[in-house]
């Protein structure tokens, strides 16, 4: 057994303790500020699934709203969002952003044409606008779903999924999230699906990053990586520093 596998095995052994710690964190952040509950953007992926499950454990079904926000999204993600809601007893609502996305892109395109990546980031920012509108109206906190692996290489949208009030999974790598997901009863179709931000048709995280989550998580947990993957990981970490820091001021 190598160091990476050994680390993950040790994490499994302390899993219940870690879940309890994160549940307590959510409860403290919401109740400590005398707020009503939590809003979580549901993507059909594993990170939002685990985040929502932790919130339901911490606050109860009546104080958590999961929001599925399609914008020409793939049907598989809609189906997995529905399966998640059934599995963890989540109050799931839908806000279809397709028309809002079309309108925003059409107006911006009068100034300059947008490529697929920028259009995808625009979807992410519209989703966060939606979550904050609901949170404002309800007196809730917006819960971030980005994991440690994504945050390290800046694989999130500034002003989009990289923006929220609290994050109960920011210290978990993708592999640790997957281990926790099994314990929390997340549906198998979500556990085994290729990670995707659903920013455009056929988009996957690993394809866009240029290395696998195993490459990334092995590096984060053990410091080990093949030279090519390590170079790409460290490069993305350097150029995304602005996403992890507060806005510079003078």
Q: Is 42 annotated as a binding residue?
A: yes
Q: Is 154 annotated as a binding residue?
A: no
Q: Is 61 annotated as a binding residue?
A: no
Cβ atoms of 65 and 131 within 8 Å: the answer is no
- Residues 38 and 19: their CA atoms lie apart, in Å, by 17
Q: Is 32 annotated as a binding residue?
A: no
- Residues 25 and 223: their CA atoms lie apart, in Å, by 28
Active site residues: 47, 150
- Give the burial class of 105: count Cβ atoms within 10 A of its Cβ; 0-12 exposed, 13-18 middle, 19 or more buried: middle
Q: Is 210 annotated as a binding residue?
A: no
- Residues 221 and 147: their CA atoms lie apart, in Å, by 14
Helix, strand or coil, per DSSP, at residue 81 = helix
Q: Is 36 annotated as a binding residue?
A: no
Q: Is 158 annotated as a binding residue?
A: yes
Identify the sign of the CA torsion 164, 166, 167, 170.
positive
- Residues 44 and 76: their CA atoms lie apart, in Å, by 8
Task: Provide the Cα torsion 124, 121, 73, 54; round to 10°.
Answer: -30
Q: Is 41 annotated as a binding residue?
A: yes
Q: Is 242 annotated as a binding residue?
A: yes
Q: Is 102 annotated as a binding residue?
A: no
Q: Is 165 annotated as a binding residue?
A: yes
Binding residues: 41-48, 125, 145, 150, 158, 165, 174, 196, 242-243
Binding residues for ATP: 41-48, 145, 174, 196
Binding residues for deamido-NAD(+): 125, 158, 165, 242-243
Binding residues for Mg(2+): 47, 150
């Amino acid at each position: 057994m190598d160091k990476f596998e050994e680390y993950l095995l040790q994490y499994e052994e302390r899993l219940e303790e870690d879940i309890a710690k994160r549940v307590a964190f959510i409860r403290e952040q919401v109740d400590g500020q005398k707020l009503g509950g939590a809003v979580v953007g549901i993507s059909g992926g594993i990170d939002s699934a685990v985040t929502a499950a932790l919130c339901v454990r911490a606050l109860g079904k009546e104080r958590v709203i999961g929001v599925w926000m399609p914008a020409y999204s793939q049907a598989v993600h809609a189906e997995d969002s529905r399966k998640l809601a059934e599995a963890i007893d989540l109050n799931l609502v839908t806000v279809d952003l397709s028309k809002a996305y079309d309108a925003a892109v059409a107006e911006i395109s009068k100034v300059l044409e947008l490529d697929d990546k920028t259009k995808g980031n625009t979807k992410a920012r519209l989703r966060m606008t939606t979550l904050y509108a609901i949170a404002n109206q309800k007196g809730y906190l917006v819960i971030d779903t980005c994991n440690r692996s994504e945050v390290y290489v800046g694989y999130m949208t500034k002003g989009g999924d990289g923006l929220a009030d609290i994050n109960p999974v920011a210290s978990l790598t993708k592999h640790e999230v997957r281990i926790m997901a099994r314990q929390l009863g997340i549906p198998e179709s979500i556990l085994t699906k290729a990670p995707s931000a659903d920013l455009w048709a056929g988009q996957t995280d690993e394809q866009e990053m240029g290395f696998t989550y195993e490459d990334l998580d092995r590096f984060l947990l053990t410091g080990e990586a093949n030279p090519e993957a390590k170079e790409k990981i460290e490069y993305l970490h350097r150029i995304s520093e602005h996403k992890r820091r507060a806005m510079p001021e003078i």
